[in-house]
Amino acid sequence: MSDFHLEIDGNKVGVKEGETILEAAQQAGIYIPTLCHHEKLEPFGGCRMCIVEVESRGRTKLVVSCVYPAEAGLVVRTRSEKIDRIRKTILELLMAHAPDSPPLVALAKEYGANKDQFEKESSFCIHCGLCVRYCEEVKKNYAVGFVDRGVRKEISFIPEIAAKVCNDCKECFPLCPTSYLQATFVLTESLAFPTVP
Amino acid sequence: MDIDRIDQIIDRHQCEASSLIQILLDIQSENHWLSKEALTRVGEKLQVPFTRIQHIATFYKAFSLVPKGRHEVHICVGTACHVRGATRILDTVKDVTGIMPGETDMDLKFSLETVNCLGCCALGPVVEIDGKVHGKMSPGETADVLKNYE
Ligand code: SF4
Ligand code: FES
């Protein structure tokens, strides 16, 4: 049962009150690329990959589909020259940090992004927050969090908590687009609670 | 700083999680830094995860996770102070205290930071010590002022 309808790429799509454009699209089988979205987590809007064009009352604007609530009568376009250009630049910026990340490599192919466009700054983490938010929202373990800000922002495990819970969980590992999470965990483990072989 | 004092500060804010930043600021200004013990205690009492406290404590420049000196010296190196000789002032402070910007001396007497504008360019070069502004400073005057601090 849907409350109202909107149009995505020319298809009439039914949505329920409170759903985002991304959710509406996914239910209708329309693909929008995402990096920081996860169905079990609260909308985050961190990566901007899911940007789309919406038209309402004759005006077009760019919105972030994973946080933008669907409205009756919206006309949504998931691809256009402008959208593709924005996604390409986002990818190129992220690839300065994580040039070999499989999801980035796949999307780069689709959008013609050049991983060498910007000078490399191999910090690997792309700040999608999937690990931090999953640990918080789903597992309620709070074993990993962000520290610092801006270009120095990075993830950090709390050794006391990680020592107790992580080895039996590791559910965040497959979520990380870059393996940086695993690397950080192994480093924390070897420094703070090494397991004797 | 002992646990009782930290508890007093927390109680003064009714143990409210929404007062987290204010509590951290109070501890910072009294103790000059936030120790792991202090942060852990705050987390326990307010029921806030340590990850969140750590994020906040590392996000704002007002907080320090390493011990700071009893006196915080800020040297303005903004454009106006720079052209009026901030570099020489900074060199003097480095000589007198033996520390570089971002550092604290062994006796925990001074911590030194450079800042980019204190908002009083007409007074340049400006030195701020524990919140008190000293304007139109010369290297000699700067060295004299520093002698007044214990
Ligand atoms: S470590 Fe991985 S999952 Fe965590 S924020 Fe960084 S890129 Fe995302
Ligand atoms: S998926 Fe929407 S901003 Fe990341």
Closest by Cα among A112, A105, A108, A15 to A65: A15
Task: Find, in chain B, the residue whose alpha carbon is nearest to that of A162.
Answer: B51
pLDDT tens-digit readout, A21-32: 999 999 999 999
Q: How far apart are CA B48 and CA A8, in angstroms?
A: 41
Exposure string over A147-185, b if 16+ CB within 10 A, otherwise e: beeeeeebbbbbeebbbeebeeeeebeebbbbebbeebb
Q: Which of B51, B58, B59 sits opposite A142 (nearest CB)?
A: B51
Q: Report the distance separating Cα A11 and Cα A183, nearest Å.
A: 43
Higher pLDDT, A129 or A3: A129
Shared domain check, B77 and B24 = no
How many domains does chain B fold into? Answer: 2
At residue A1, does pLDDT exceed 70? no
Tell me the percentage of chain A whose pLDDT exceeds 90. 90
Question: Computed over its alpha carbons, how large is the radius of gyration of chain B?
Answer: 18
pLDDT one-digit tens code per residue, A30-89: 999 999 999 999 999 999 999 999 998 888 999 999 999 999 989 999 999 999 999 999
- Return the H-helix or E-strand segment holding B147: helix B139-147
In the Cβ-directed half-sphere of B40, how many Cα atoms lie within 13 Å? 8
Hey, are the CB atoms on B59 and A149 less than 8 Å from each other?
Answer: yes
Rounded distance between C-alpha atoms, residue B86 and residue B77, angstroms: 6
Residue whose structure tokens are 């909308």: A43
Specify if B85 maps to a domain. yes
Containing domain of residue B45, as a range? 3-59
In a domain, B66, yes or no: no
Across chain A, mean pLDDT equals 94
Whether B64 is covered by a domain: the verdict is no
| Closest protein CA for atom 1 of ligand 2 | A34
pLDDT at A189: 94
Phi and psi (nearest 5°) for B132?
A: -90, 130
Distance from CA of B47 to the nearest CA of A (A): 12
Spell out, as residue ranges, where chain B has pLDDT lower than 50: none
Q: Among A20, A38, A42, A66, which is best to mutate for testing ligand 2, by the most ligand atoms less than 8 A from CB?
A: A66
Q: Grade residue A197 by pLDDT with cuts at 50, 70 and 90.
A: low
Give yes or no: residues B50 and B76 share one domain: no
Same domain, residue pair B78 and B134: yes
At the top level of CATH, which class does the domain A4-79 belong to?
alpha beta
Query: Where do the structural domains in chain A lie, given as residue ranges?
Result: 4-79, 82-111, 130-192
Q: Which atom of ligand 1 is nearest to the CA of A180?
A: 1
Residue nearest to atom 6 of ligand 1 (CA): A125
∠ CA B90-B93-B94, nearest 5°, is 85
Q: Which of A131, A135, A149 to mutate to test the interface with B (most CBs of B within 10 A)?
A: A149
Let me know the angle formed at the C-alpha of B125 by B120 and B126, rounded to the nearest 5 degrees.
55
Contact A73, A56 (CB under 8 A): yes
Is B20 inside any structural domain?
Answer: yes
Average pLDDT over residues A149-170: 94
DSSP-assigned states of every residue in A34-82: -SS--TTS-----S-TTEEEEEETTEEEEEETTTSBP-TT-EEES--HH
Distance B106 CA to ligand 2 centre (A): 47
Give the ipTM.
0.83
- Token pair in block for residue B48: 């806030």
Distance between CA atoms of residues B10 and A120, nearest Å: 45
CB contact under 8 Å between B52 and A142, yes or no, is yes
Q: Which residues contact A58 (CB under 8 A, 6 or more apart)?
A: none
